[in-house]
């Protein structure tokens, strides 16, 4: 496995892409489309993408950017629900690709970072 100068994982010999690489590029796409009215009609998809991307990003600037983007969407009231618990978010996540065994612990950890003190 190789790393670029920023420490982001890139293609391995087997042709797989490291999850930090995917998370970084997903974040950039979400930041670029944040003002797109499309998200107003499907906020659950945006929640799924933001929480999944943030949950699987390494602690550091990319993960922090996911948290900022989530918080700004909560503050702008784009998300109708406040998602007062990780269980609320998991209900949204189950509408899309979801695996309890593979995703739950990472999502719960990330949720507590997005909603400290709750």
- pTM for the full predicted model: 0.79
- What percentage of the chain reaches a pLDDT higher than 70? 81
Confidence of residue 6 (pLDDT cuts 50, 70, 90): very low
> 3 by DSSP, 3-state: which?
strand
Report pLDDT digits (tens) over 60-103. 999 999 999 999 888 887 776 767 788 989 999 999 999 999 99
Domains of the chain: which residue ranges? 20-114
102 CB-contact burial (10 Å; exposed 0-12 / middle 13-18 / buried 19+):
exposed
pLDDT at residue 21, rounded to an integer? 76
């Amino acid at each position: 496995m190789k790393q670029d100068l920023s420490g982001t994982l890139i293609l391995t010999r087997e042709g797989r892409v490291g999850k930090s690489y995917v998370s970084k590029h997903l974040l950039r796409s979400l930041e670029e489309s944040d003002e797109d009215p499309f998200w107003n009609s499907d906020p659950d998809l945006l929640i799924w993408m933001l929480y999944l991307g943030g949950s699987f990003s390494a602690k550091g600037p990319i993960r922090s950017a996911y948290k900022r983007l989530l918080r700004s969407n909560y503050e702008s009231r784009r998300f109708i629900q406040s998602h007062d618990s990780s269980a609320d978010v998991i209900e949204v996540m189950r509408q899309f690709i979801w695996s309890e065994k593979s995703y739950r612990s990472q999502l719960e950890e990330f949720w507590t970072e997005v909603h400290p003190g709750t």
